[in-house]
Amino acid sequence: MSCEGETVALLRSGGHRLTPQRQRVASALQHAGGHRTVEELHALIAHEQGAPMPLSTVYRALTTLKELRAVSEIDAGGRSAFAWVDRSRPHHHLVCRGCGTERDLDPALLQRLGDAIRAATGFEAFLDHFAITGQCESCRQGAARA
Amino acid sequence: MSCEGETVALLRSGGHRLTPQRQRVASALQHAGGHRTVEELHALIAHEQGAPMPLSTVYRALTTLKELRAVSEIDAGGRSAFAWVDRSRPHHHLVCRGCGTERDLDPALLQRLGDAIRAATGFEAFLDHFAITGQCESCRQGAARA
DNA sequence: CGTACAATTGCGAATATTCGCGGAGGGAAC
DNA sequence: GTTCCCTCCGCGAATATTCGCAATTGTACG
Ligand SMILES: [Mn+2]
Ligand SMILES: [Mn+2]
Ligand SMILES: [Zn+2]
Ligand SMILES: [Zn+2]
């Protein structure tokens, strides 16, 4: 994956320094894909060759990358996880509180929300990657019967 | 405020036990209003007369009340806070990542999103109380100039 | 290329949150 | 009202996350 350039440009544009720690965290998350916990990223980085990195540095790198919208933090049910943000391809999750099943949500629906918010208030909502909790259809029917 | 009845009914309906700890946490949050941290609720409860309550019990009571949708957890910028949920009067926040200012969002916009999700997927999204981050109009203009 | 300075890291400690376990007590059944 | 069972609580320990500070190191400048 040729993603180093993207990370470099993002950090520079935000006025942040380009450090190997930030690059390694960004690279680990980009290459691992999906939703990753801090622990997972830390382990992935430890398995590489190179200096070990303390957990606190992973946390700090993720905080910086979140500020730049390069990374999103999501709370899908259990604990929080991080994902690399592809702004050109937003995606979102519907998580059922009853059975825990998860399905994706058409990003156009959230884009419409963002457009409505901007039209009504001038505020630009960052809707890159969301997890919306609720009740799936089958759990709802089960609850209605009871 | 006459809110004990509501809490009692909610706990009973969820098949949970009605304990004084849960009632005290619920009452503290209802009477304090707004967004409250665990620490704040713990302090409010400690200032009452009655047995002191360990912090872990406050956490557990809040977890239970969240499952029942009596309480919502929100992450408005800094750390997480809890609020009592009034399902008949949902409200949401727009938080600017640039300047930190916060304004309310017309709940009708999120209700439309919920309707669209239900129509498209059958999933009922719980959209009682959200904090959406982004960039306010003035910060956006400042960033565009730079 | 060498210097200067502020941003960032590593480390350990502080804080925040969750867990495991034995005992207490809510509530259903007589 | 009494009994019994299973959920829940109090406690302390484990885990997760943040913070303070001295040492390091990107980066702008000459
Ligand atoms: Mn995702
Ligand atoms: Mn609110
Ligand atoms: Zn379900
Ligand atoms: Zn702003």
* CATH for A31: 1.10.10.10
Residue B2: the pLDDT is 56
Residue A32: the pLDDT is 96
Residues contacting residue A30 through CB under 8 Å, at least 6 positions apart: A1, A3, A7, A84
Which of A49, A73, A97 is the C-terminal boundary of a domain? A73
A116 in Cβ contact with A77 (< 8 Å): no
- pLDDT for residue B1 is more than 70: no
**B121-B135-A83 Cα angle (round to 5):** 55
The answer on A68 and A2 residing in a single domain is yes
Q: Residue A78: inside a domain, yes or no?
A: no
A118 in Cβ contact with B109 (< 8 Å): no
Which of B13, B42, B73 is the C-terminal boundary of a domain? B73
Q: Which nucleotide has the least CA–C1' distance to A16?
A: C7
- What's the burial of A103, exposed, middle or buried (CB within 10 Å: 0-12/13-18/19+)? exposed
Q: What is the DSSP letter of A18?
A: -
Residue B4: the pLDDT is 80
Q: What φ, ψ does residue B129 adopt, rounded to 5°? A: -165, 105
Inspect the interface and report whether the beta carbons of A126 and B97 lie closer than 8 Å.
yes
The answer on A53 and A91 residing in a single domain is no
Per-residue pLDDT of A123-141, as tens digits, reads 999 999 999 999 999 999 8
Instruction: Flag residues of chain A having pLDDT under 50.
Output: none
Q: Residue A80: inside a domain, yes or no?
A: no
Q: Residue B80: inside a domain, yes or no?
A: no
**Structure token digits, residue B36:** 């409250």
Q: How far is the CA of A123 from the centre of ligand 4 (A)?
A: 9
Q: How many domains is chain B partitioned into structurally? A: 2
Task: Report chain B residues whose CB lies below 8 A from the CB of A122.
Answer: 136-137, 140
How many whole angstroms separate alpha carbon A35 and alpha carbon A76?
9
The answer on A62 and A99 residing in a single domain is no
Q: What is the domain extent for residue A48? A: 1-73
Per-residue pLDDT of B72-100, as tens digits, reads 999 876 778 999 999 999 999 999 999 98
Q: Residue B124: inside a domain, yes or no?
A: yes
Q: What is the mean pLDDT of residues B36-48?
A: 96
Q: What is the mean pLDDT of residues B115-141?
A: 96
Residue A145: the pLDDT is 66
The answer on A67 and A20 residing in a single domain is yes
Closest residue on chain B to A102 (Cα): B123
Residue A123: the pLDDT is 98
First and final CA of chain A: distance in angstroms?
A: 51
Cite the DSSP H helix spans in A15-136. Answer: 20-32, 38-47, 55-67, 107-121
pTM, entire model: 0.94
* CATH for B115: 3.30.1490.190
**Structure token digits, residue B109:** 């916009």
